[in-house]
Structure 1
Amino acid sequence: MLSVCTIGVPTAGLEMSLAGCWTNELGSIMWIKVSDSGVIDGTYNSSVSTVRKAADGVVIGYQQSVTNATFGFVVKWAIGSVTVWAGQYYNDGAKEQLKTMWLLRKNRQDPKDNWEATLAGMDVFTRANPAKCNVRDDRSEL
């Protein structure tokens, strides 16, 4: 059974909410809000990137429904690429996790370079203290 997420983060009326601050195994930080209809929006600060330095991006996506823990979101990077994540929310009572798979698409002008333009991988995000995201946990706007 999935539990209600009420850890001082904006839940927008969802029974389980992805809203709040999340960090992955590489130290990247994501802050997201979720609307009543399941629309996800926020910010992402990647601690790694294809240009070998931290990168910031804008998050947009969807949580499937108030009773379904699946979701997907896209990050538009300032460096000209996009990454898409699909995953599921899990809560074992001790920690909340977003287990995801991702595809990163780099911009390539020459069609011959298409073979190297997409990378794939997995991320596990763990809910983090809102202070780690450097935002207030009760704010209404990003």
Structure 2
Amino acid sequence: MAWSKGLLPVRLFSLSKVGCSIVSGKWCNELGSMMDLKEDETGQISGTYTTNAEFFKFNSPKDLVGYTNTHKNNGTTTMTTTITFCMAWKEEGSCIGFTGQIFKDDKNLVMKTTWLLHSPADCLNENWITTCVGENTFRKHQ
């Protein structure tokens, strides 16, 4: 583990950075959750997300919105694509936000994400327990 410029440790992965309009299409994570994304020319994304996580009773597709940012690294020709998106589970009152980066491994495009899931709290003192943090790795279907 290496340290970033901030205070948080950063894990090092053997994945190469990628860029440009690579987000549109179908993606699946390690839990079997699926998303279908469409990216427009401004970097805005829309689509649907269908969870396969066991703790959700509802697995119908949810609308998803977000943004991508493709950036050329200083002094190189390497393009980097970062992404953020969110959706709401209205049946349960929960909202989730993902943020991450798209890489390319030997076979496929890989989206490494970290997410925050917030569920409703009954009172202010219980708010801290209603936020979960996790990671998902999505792979793009060819």
Bin the TM-score by the shorter chain.
0.7 to 0.9
Q: More deviation in 60-69 or 87-96?
A: 60-69
User: RMSD of the TM alignment (CA)?
Assistant: 2.0
Unaligned runs of 5+ in 1: 5-14, 130-142
1:16 aligns with 2:28: no
1:79-128 CA distances to partner (integer Å, 9 max, x unpaired)?
21111101000112411110000000101131121121100000000112
Deviation at 1:55, TM superposition (A): 4.8
- TM score, norm. by length of structure 2: 0.74
Structure number with greater Rg is 2
Deviation at 1:58, TM superposition (A): 1.4
User: Conserved in 2, the CA contact under 8 Å of 1:63 and 1:69?
Assistant: yes
Deviation at 1:76, TM superposition (A): 1.6
% identical equivalent positions? 29
Q: Which residue pairs with 1:43 in the alignment?
A: 48
Question: Which of 42, 64, 68 is the aligned partner of 2:80?
Answer: 68
Q: Which residue pairs with 1:82 in the alignment?
A: 95
Q: Which runs of 4+ in 1 moved over 2 A?
A: 1-4, 49-56, 65-68
Give the distance between the partners of 1:28 and 1:92, measured in 2 at CA.
20
Classify 1:47/1:115 alpha carbon distance in 2 versus 1 (closer, same or farther; 3 Å).
Answer: same
Classify 1:56/1:49 alpha carbon distance in 2 versus 1 (closer, same or farther; 3 Å).
Answer: farther
Q: Give 3-state SS (helix, strand or coil) of 2:127's partner.
A: helix
Q: Which residue pairs with 1:119 in the alignment?
A: 132
Unaligned runs of 5+ in 2: 1-15, 72-78
- TM score, norm. by length of structure 1: 0.74
Give the distance between the partners of 2:54 and 2:117, measured in 1 at CA.
10
More strand by share: 2
Q: Which residue pairs with 2:117 in the alignment?
A: 104
Deviation at 1:2, TM superposition (A): 5.0
